[in-house]
Structure 1
Amino acid sequence: MILGILSDTHKKVGRAKKAIDMLLENGAEYLIHAGDIGKEEVLAYMESTRVPYTAVLGNNDRKLVPLKERYHLFTEPHYFCIGDLNVKLMHHPWFLSPDADLIVFGHTHKFSLECRTAGQLFLNPGEVCARNKPVSEAVLLKVLKDAWEVTHCQRRIKETTWHYNKKICERVVEHV
């Protein structure tokens, strides 16, 4: 399973679409947005891809709250499963307890990756909006049986080429 993970698109719909397109072109089978979406057009675009997705509201998404019933949009922290994978999704890094296999957050606008010895992965995909640096970011996460394959994807603004940096982390799966 390959997950496409993004956050902090804010009102940059064009950059969000480019990031989503890149994730899908690289095989993303599920999209996850960690908040500060900014505009309904980003949710509508994710919906139009026909790829399953989940998104959470960020601190700048007050205007999107009425749209929760129309899209796969939730308040934080939101727990859900993708197959056998337990996911916790939030915008703020306030609930960073290891109570899921994959813990995704946003808000800081900084790519962050922590592989725990118990097999949990804490992940912030960075910012799509390129507010704090002239780079748009997202993550491709390949969920393997015994590893997480994390690819940090970056594109300089006004350039078309994405650059990829891959890291492998051990994944521990308990068998019942």
Structure 2
Amino acid sequence: MRIGILSDSHDQIGRTAAAVALLAAEGAEILIHCGDLTEASVVHTVAGAGLACHYVLGNNDFDLEGIERAVGATGGSLHGWAAELELAGRRVGVTHGHLTGEFRRLLAAEPDYLLFGHSHQ
């Protein structure tokens, strides 16, 4: 199972669409977005490739209701501020990275992978 990872889209529809297309072309089956979608329109862009999508919220995701509606409309899964997922037999922790308590909680759970954004690196 190939997993694509994105974070910190910040309303950049063109860049996000290009990144999603690249991940899909490389065989990604699942896409994880580590927060800072910023607007619901980005959710539609992320979901456009037809991949199974998982999202956590970031510190710039102010339109929570709009994002929640968009994720529901596109068949994705919105996990709030953090997620613990089981994918391909691996435990994956996902958070944006701005909430120290969530980051530490996930780290303490000792996942196989811990995904986060926020730093823009």
Q: Normalized against structure 1, the TM-score is what?
A: 0.57
Task: Please state how far the C-alpha of 1:45 moved relative to its aligned partner.
Answer: 2.4
Q: What residue identity is the alignment partner of 1:26?
A: E
Tell me the alpha carbon deviations over residues 96-150 of structure 1, each in whole angstroms, 9 at most, x when there is no partner: 515211100000001xxxxxxxxxxxxxxxxxxxxxxxxxxxxxxxxxxxxxxxx
Q: What residue identity is the alignment partner of 1:23?
A: L
Q: Which residue of the partner structure matches residue 61 of structure 2?
A: 61
Whole-Å Cα distance in 2 between the matches of residues 17 and 57 of structure 1?
A: 19
Task: Please state how far the C-alpha of 1:11 moved relative to its aligned partner.
Answer: 1.1
Q: Which residue of the partner structure matches residue 81 of structure 1?
A: 86
Runs of at least 5 residues in structure 2 that lack an aligned partner in the other structure: none
Whole-Å Cα distance in 2 between the matches of residues 6 and 24 of structure 1?
A: 12
Task: Please state how far the C-alpha of 1:48 moved relative to its aligned partner.
Answer: 3.1
Give the number of the structure whose residues are more often strand, by fraction.
Answer: 1
Aligned-residue RMSD, C-alpha: 1.6
**Worse overlay, 73-82 or 51-60:** 73-82
Give the number of the structure whose residues are more often helix, by fraction.
Answer: 2
Q: Which residue of the partner structure matches residue 126 of structure 1?
A: none
Tell me whether 1:3 sits opposite 2:3 in the alignment.
Answer: yes
Q: How many residues align?
A: 109
Q: Which residue of the partner structure matches residue 122 of structure 1?
A: none
Tell me whether 1:106 sits opposite 2:117 in the alignment.
Answer: yes
Task: Please state how far the C-alpha of 1:47 moved relative to its aligned partner.
Answer: 2.6
Whole-Å Cα distance in 2 between the matches of residues 16 and 22 of structure 1?
A: 10
Whole-Å Cα distance in 2 between the matches of residues 98 and 30 of structure 1?
A: 25
Runs of at least 5 residues in structure 1 that lack an aligned partner in the other structure: 111-176
Task: Please state how far the C-alpha of 1:33 moved relative to its aligned partner.
Answer: 0.6
Q: What residue identity is the alignment partner of 1:76?
A: W
